[in-house]
Structure 1
Amino acid sequence: MTDRVIVYPGQIPQVEHVLESNRNMQDAISSVLRLTMNSQGVAGFDATPNSPAGMSVVLSAGTLCTSAPVDPSAYSTLASDSTSIFKAASYAGGTITGFTAPGTTGQTRKIIIHASFQETDTTAAQLPYYDSVTGQSTLGASQNTRRIQRAVVGITSGSSTTTGNETIPATPAGAIPLYVVTLTYGQSTITAAHIERHPNNLFVPYDLMDLKTAIRPKLTADLMTYVSPSGNNSNDGLSARTPKLTVQNVIDTASKTYDFNGFHCIINCAAGTYTVGAAFVNKPLGGTGQFDWVVQGNETTPSNVVFNVANGNCFVAAYGAGVQIRGVRMLATGTPTVYNSIGYGILAFGSAYVDTYACDFGACGHTHVNAADGSIVNFASTNYRISGGSQYHAVATGSGRVLNVVTTVTVSAAVTFGGAFVCATTGGNVVIYSNTFTNPGNVSGKRYSAESCGNIQVNGNSATYLPGSVAGTSVTGGNYY
């Protein structure tokens, strides 16, 4: 909906009429972005090595969408307006330099490429004004004549450290992470193998400049796709003979190609180890948000299908995405920071919904399962296995919910949880009862932590119901009941 300024015949137009029309158009564009994006996101910004190869990366043109004030400063005669709306900023493309390899043998460094929204006044000029005394035109002082919105790309380098211990540096406040470039000692060229999407990237699963929904084929049945550790992302992924390499490439391709029309994309994972995780962001076109995506491993022997992601996450579901994860083993290294959420088996935020079936949770740097910001992770009343430790097995935060009811949980090895087996904080809820814990003596660490108005519902079970070697705690309004 676009508000319009009314001007009448014979009326002397005011400068505010033009300015308010510009603002109204900006609000209309914001509404379209909100309907299309529903959240922060980027499109384009494709990264490729420079040619000839060197220590630089070429980024294609892109669009960044984020929330920002209507006008952070006065817009000519209109006062500033801090109301937050969606805005889009363009990036013309360019070559990114400044990458430096470690200078010590045996060391590795990770560097992130990120984009930020920037709004500036520019194009200064001396403008003609009417002089009411002389009745003639006169030039005033130099003034800016354009307010532009651009995406500004930069890099942030991590510390050089012993190979295998390198971590992704924190993303600067207000920036959106795009890529991670990994460099080792003595490296003088960057190839495609050194560039990967940041684990917390917000790439939308379609091109904002190419929403040609009218010509997208509508699914009339579930879409069967295939991945394999020996696959290739240039394959179509539509048969076991032509599998793609990564789940992420299936997501990106299917989201751009199809109208889901209420059906699902089944991603069949061949046996083996996958070293790249997957991020499900927003609902696909025609999706319902109820399990538009199904990651299908081996529910009988989940250890045959392994997602082992270094300094990242196995699976991320965000902003209304709906995912089922079935019969896989998850391992993830990394310690999260304020701007870097890594080390999770499953991380759900922004009202996403995830069901897990018959999975195996191996060692994770931070948490096996985390539900945040109104998201739900449901163990779907199916039996599953814990074969490795982490800081937490399950965390619910920010009105997120973890549902774990009527399951058999087999702890197949000695594991330690440095924080607690389950944790509910800042209004999060963990519902966990009617479970059978096999080999609970294998678990070391605190049984539970209910804090900051978080709730752990065990349906009246005792304080020793959950596995662990240390008594649980309830503090600052947390409840265990």
Structure 2
Amino acid sequence: MSVPFLSVKPRAIKLKVSPRFPARVIGRAGIDVTKQNGDYFIDLDYADFPVIGSVPAGATYALIFNPTTGQYAQLPISLLGGGIPDAPIDGTIYGRRNAAWVAAGGGGGIPEAPNDGILYGRKSLAWSAVPAAPVVREMLTAARTYYVRSDGSNANTGLADNAGGAFLTIQKAIDVIASLDLSIYQVTVVVRPAGGGNLSLGNLLKNYVGAVAPIIVGDETTPSNVVVDGNGTSCFLSDNVRPWHIRGMRIRATSAGSGFDAASGGIIYFQRIDFQTFNQGYAHMRSSGAAIIGATGNYSISGDAGFHVLAVNNGYLQNYLAGPVPLTGTLNFSQGFAYANQGGVLYTSGMTFNPAGATVTGPRYAATSNGVIATGGGGANYFPGSIAGSASAGGIYG
């Protein structure tokens, strides 16, 4: 048989022959031969090709027809299936989460990792889940100051005392400090409401890593220049939190909430605070659950509340002051200026209150259910008020 002409097309092979009979043209598996007017056509018969469910072991390439170019091309087996290329084989360990490779594991000739949203890595022939990267705290190497202003933004760094650098809220500064490793350095939050503006949000104090308690300070010379309104919650809440120092501001809550609220072992120290008006169901200071609120310096009272100091459920309030506590205005403490209940302790030895120019109404004190109020022998009129104090159900006053 002579073959004068051979024409190759992507989908068919056309062969013209001048056979010397009795020669024959025979198709075999996957190849069909048809004759039309003396012409023989040889075609691939795809129906004869078996369908396989997986790529054979050791296979490297597959032959793929590209209808755009009309050509066949070799395609790496790794591109079949999930459409994810092999990780680089460069000595680095790569892993993947869904369709994205992440430097964590590497190698070649290894089946795909599970596509279940978990990051996997490989070394040698074994896939293993890669643990999440640990959170690395920034460790301070010097003292740091953050600034809060009513014209600031929580998108700022907080490190500059201007509108473009300061935070908008005290809470943002607290959150940032909680994310740091303070080491042995002092961190201070300086609060400067621009234009005399108020900060109308309560603040949740948080635990921190470090040896020195952070300080939040406004204006210790004129505390009324910096006003913090709880706006429906306590101005500063410490629930099972290490000590924070709060200084130099006026605090109030025009609706619900106390001034300082410490619970479950939380600790708040303060000085140069002006306690303004709070709802009669709440307190200027409330301590519960073995928590501590302590005055480290003088303070003032210019507004009323249900209680000035309230210690319940083994809460503890202590005040060691060198001078009097001035009171101004018409003040009503309807539940008691000082109140200790359920094992709560108020230690106020050596304090003096100066109500000159103020009218103070309500019970002077109440100690009940094993609550203790220790005045160091201050007597029945130690606290201001218009109604005599009382001790009952195991309560102690003295």
Q: Secondary structure at the match of 1:325?
A: strand
C-alpha displacement of 1:364: 1.1
The whole-number CA distance in structure 2 between the counterparts of 1:306 and 1:386 is 14
- Change in Cα spacing, 1:222 to 1:352, as seen in structure 2 (3 Å) is farther
The aligned residue for residue 132 of structure 1 is none
The whole-number CA distance in structure 2 between the counterparts of 1:221 and 1:412 is 42
Q: Is the 8 A contact 1:312 1:333 kept in 2?
A: no
C-alpha displacement of 1:253: 2.3
The aligned residue for residue 252 of structure 1 is 175
The whole-number CA distance in structure 1 between the counterparts of 2:308 and 2:176 is 32
The whole-number CA distance in structure 1 between the counterparts of 2:317 and 2:133 is 37
Q: 2:380 aligns with which of 455, 463, 469?
A: 463
How big is each residue's C-alpha offset from its partner over 1:429-479, in whole Å with a ceiling of 9 and x where there is no partner? 001122221125521110001011010001112111111110001111110
The aligned residue for residue 4 of structure 1 is none
The aligned residue for residue 261 of structure 1 is 183
Deviates more, 1:243-252 or 1:438-447: 438-447
The aligned residue for residue 268 of structure 2 is 354
Q: 2:306 aligns with which of 391, 395, 405?
A: 391
C-alpha displacement of 1:277: 1.9
Q: Is the 8 A contact 2:184 2:210 kept in 1?
A: yes
User: Which aligned pairs between 1:171-250 and structure 2 lie closer than 5 A?
Assistant: 211-213=134-136, 216-241=137-162, 242-250=165-173
The aligned residue for residue 227 of structure 2 is 306
The whole-number CA distance in structure 2 between the counterparts of 1:359 and 1:320 is 21
Instruction: Supply the AA of the counterpart residue of 2:270.
Output: T
Q: Secondary structure at the match of 2:326?
A: strand
C-alpha displacement of 1:312: 1.1
The aligned residue for residue 415 of structure 1 is 331
The aligned residue for residue 198 of structure 2 is 273
Number of corresponding residues? 258
Instruction: Give the percent of matched residue pairs that are identical in Structure 1 and Structure 2.
Output: 31
Runs of 4 or more consecutive aligned structure 1 residues displaced over 3 Å after TM superposition: none
The aligned residue for residue 378 of structure 1 is 294
Q: Secondary structure at the match of 1:328?
A: strand
Q: Provide structure 1 residue ranges, at least 5 long, that are not aligned to the other structure.
A: 1-208, 336-342
Q: Provide structure 2 residue ranges, at least 5 long, that are not aligned to the other structure.
A: 1-131
Instruction: Supply the AA of the counterpart residue of 1:351.
Output: G
Query: Do residues 400 (structure 1) and 312 (structure 2) align?
Result: no
Structure possessing the higher radius of gyration over alpha carbons: 2
Q: 1:443 aligns with which of 360, 381, 385?
A: 360
The aligned residue for residue 147 of structure 1 is none
The whole-number CA distance in structure 2 between the counterparts of 1:224 and 1:235 is 14
Deviates more, 1:304-313 or 1:399-408: 399-408
C-alpha displacement of 1:333: 3.3
C-alpha displacement of 1:229: 1.0
Q: What TM-score does the superposition give when structure 1 sets the normalisation length?
A: 0.52
Instruction: Supply the AA of the counterpart residue of 2:187.
Output: C
C-alpha displacement of 1:210: 6.8
More strand by share: 1
The whole-number CA distance in structure 2 between the counterparts of 1:211 and 1:310 is 37
The whole-number CA distance in structure 1 between the counterparts of 2:314 and 2:184 is 28
Q: Secondary structure at the match of 1:414?
A: strand
How big is each residue's C-alpha offset from its partner over 1:188-212, in whole Å with a ceiling of 9 and x where there is no partner? xxxxxxxxxxxxxxxxxxxxx7751
The aligned residue for residue 287 of structure 1 is 210
Q: Is the 8 A contact 1:377 1:403 kept in 2?
A: yes
- Change in Cα spacing, 1:456 to 1:362, as seen in structure 2 (3 Å) is same
Q: Secondary structure at the match of 1:463?
A: coil
More helix by share: 1
Q: Is the 8 A contact 1:414 1:443 kept in 2?
A: yes
RMSD of aligned residue pairs (Cα, Å): 1.6
- Change in Cα spacing, 1:330 to 1:399, as seen in structure 2 (3 Å) is same
Query: Do residues 433 (structure 1) and 349 (structure 2) align?
Result: yes
The aligned residue for residue 237 of structure 2 is 316
Q: Secondary structure at the match of 2:259?
A: strand
Instruction: Supply the AA of the counterpart residue of 1:437.
Output: F
Q: What TM-score does the superposition give when structure 2 sets the normalisation length?
A: 0.62
The aligned residue for residue 108 of structure 1 is none
The whole-number CA distance in structure 1 between the counterparts of 2:359 and 2:133 is 53
The aligned residue for residue 363 of structure 1 is 277
- Greater RCO, 1 or 2 (C-alpha within 8 Å, sep 6+): 1
Q: Is the 8 A contact 1:463 1:471 kept in 2?
A: yes
Q: Is the 8 A contact 2:284 2:308 kept in 1?
A: yes
The whole-number CA distance in structure 1 between the counterparts of 2:134 and 2:313 is 33
C-alpha displacement of 1:220: 2.2
